[in-house]
Amino acid sequence: MTMPQDTHPAIGVIGLGAMGRGMAGSLRRAGYPVHVFDVRAEAVQSFVAEGGVACASPAEMAQRCEIVVSVVVNAAQTEEVLFGDAGAAAAMRPGSLFVMCSTVDPNWSIALEGRLAERGLLYLDAPISGGAARAASGQMTMMTAGRPEAYDKAGGALAAMAAKVYRLGDRAGNGSKVKIINQLLAGVHIAAAAEAMALGLREGVDAASLYEVITHSAGNSWMFENRMAHVLAGDYTPLSAVDIFVKDLGLVLDTARATKFPLPLASTAHQMFMQASSAGHGREDDAAVIKIFPGIELPQAGRGADLSSPAD
C-alpha cells in the first residue's frame, strides 16, 4: 500500500521580528517546510536551529517556495523585498502567492495586487494583529482580501498562522482598510490610557491602585490593561514602538484626508505620539506616550509588581 505524500507546499517567511518569528514557528508546527530570510543573521540562525531553512535573499526564497509571506515594517520595506536587489518578484514562478502582512496605505496595496498580477503572481492583502504571544501560538488575527485563486493557493497556511482569518473582499484593499481602522482605535486607546494614568499620577493617586480599579471598572480597555502595566513596571522595552503609531495613525489620517473625512480623536492621538517621538521616545514602547505629560513622576523599573502582558 502506498503511503500518502505530504502535500504541504514550501512557504517562505520574510521578517523574523516579534510577529514573523511566531508565524514561521506556527507554520513549521503545522507541517510546512518553512524557509526564512531576515537582515539579522542571528534571527535566521535561531530559527534554522529549530528546523527551518535559511535563505540568503528574497530571490533565493522565491525560487524555492510557492508561497512567500512578508512580515516587514512598512510599504517601503515591502517594495525592497519584492523589487529591490535580489528581490522576490522577479524570481517567483507564475502562479506563486505573495502574502503581505504589513500595515500600509490601502491604495498602495490595491496597486500592488495589479503590479504582481502583471507578472502572473497572486497576492493577498493580509495585515495582522494580536501581538507576539498570539503569533507564536497561532492565535493571532488576519484581516485579508484578495482574489479567490489567491485563497485557493494559500490552502491551510492562513489557518496555521491565525485563529481568526477574516475574508473581507475578493480584491486587495479591504484588509488594509480594516487594519488601519483597528490602528485608529488602538492608538486612540493607548493615548487615552496614558492621559488617564498621567492624571492619576498628577493627582497623587497610587498608580497600582488606580490600575487595579480601572481594570475592574467600566472605563477599562484592553489597551489600558496591557500598556499601563508597562508603565507600572517602568519597562518601555519596545514590543510595539511609539514610532509605529506615528506611522499607522499617519496612514489613518492620510486615508481620511483623501475624502475630507474628519478624525478629531485620531488627529489628537497622532500629535501625542509625534510629540513623544520628537522628545526622543520613538523607539520605546508605545506606552512611552505617557512621557509627554509634565509634572508627573513615573514608576521606575524594579519597583512594584510587573503586570506586563503581550503587546498588540
Q: Residue holding cell 503572481?
A: 121
177 a catalytic residue: no
Do residues 287 and 190 lie in contact, with contact meaning Cβ atoms separated by under 8 Å? yes
Q: Cα 36 vs. chain centroid, distance in angstroms? A: 18
Q: How far apart are CA 230 and CA 308, in angstroms?
A: 5
The helix or strand, by DSSP H or E, that contains position 13, with its residue range, turns out to be strand 11-14
Q: How far apart are CA 196 and CA 190, in angstroms?
A: 10
Instruction: Please give the span between the terminal C-alpha atoms of the chain, in angstroms, as a whole number.
Output: 49
The amino acid that residue 245 corresponds to is F
**For strand 34-37 and strand 122-125, is the pairing parallel, antiparallel, or unpaired?**
unpaired
Q: How far apart are CA 222 and CA 216, in angstroms?
A: 11
Cα 202-208-211 angle, rounded to 5 deg: 85
Question: Which residue out of 177, 179, 247, 291 is catalytically annotated?
Answer: 179
Give me the active site residues, please: 179
